[in-house]
């Protein structure tokens, strides 16, 4: 049940695009198309932004998109806005447990 690996921080200027990576193994990210991404503002509950690698729930901005290649999933935020500044976590279904989370990435809007 080792956590998935994410960069500790990513930053970008308003209007730019950024990408957050989520690295796992063939037992989690690489083995299943069940990767989710969550946004968490300080003191708030996480909110799902992407599920099943690339599905965007109703109400989530189309500036958020997800993809996967091999054992690494990615979340791209295009047209970065001040309100996107938050912590982001990935998760995946695994062969040994229903879910494992990533280490988390702090996104800063410069």
Partner 1 sequence: EVRLVESAGGLVQPGGSLRLSCAASGFTFNNYAMTWVRQAPGKGLEWVSSISGSGGSTYYADSVRGRFTISRDNSKDAVYLRMNSLRAEDTAVYFCANSRGYSYAYNWGQGTLVTVSS
Residue 13 CB, shortest distance to partner 1, in Å, is 26
- Could you say whether residue 99 binds partner 1 (CB under 8 A)? yes
Q: Check binding of 102 to partner 1 (CB under 8 A).
A: yes
CA 59 to chain centre: 17
Q: Which is nearer to partner 1, 82 or 98 (CB)?
A: 98
Asked whether position 5 contacts partner 1 by CB under 8 A, the answer is no
Region label for 43, one of left (φ > 0), alpha (ψ between -120 and 50) or beta (otherwise): left
User: Encoding tokens for residue 40?
Assistant: 């968490």
Pairwise CA distance, residues 56 & 52, whole Å? 9
**How far is the CA of 8 from the CAs of 13, 57, 84, in angstroms?**
18, 25, 16
| Subset of residues 34 to 93 that bind partner 1, contact rule: CB under 8 A | 34, 36, 38, 45-48, 51-52, 89, 91, 93
Chain residues that interact with partner 1, rule: CB under 8 A: 1, 3, 32, 34, 36, 38, 45-48, 51-52, 89, 91, 93, 97-104
């Amino acid at each position: 049940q080792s956590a998935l690996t994410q960069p500790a921080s990513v930053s970008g200027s308003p209007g730019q695009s950024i990408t957050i990576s989520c690295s796992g193994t063939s037992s989690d990210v690489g083995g299943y198309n069940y990767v989710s991404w969550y946004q968490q503002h300080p003191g708030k509950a996480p909110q799902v932004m992407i599920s099943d690698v690339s599905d965007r729930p109703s109400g989530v901005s189309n500036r958020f998109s997800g993809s996967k290649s091999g054992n690494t999933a990615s979340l791209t935020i295009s047209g970065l806005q001040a309100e996107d500044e938050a912590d982001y976590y990935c998760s995946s279904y695994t062969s040994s447990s229903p879910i494992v989370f990533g280490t988390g990435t702090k996104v800063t809007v410069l």
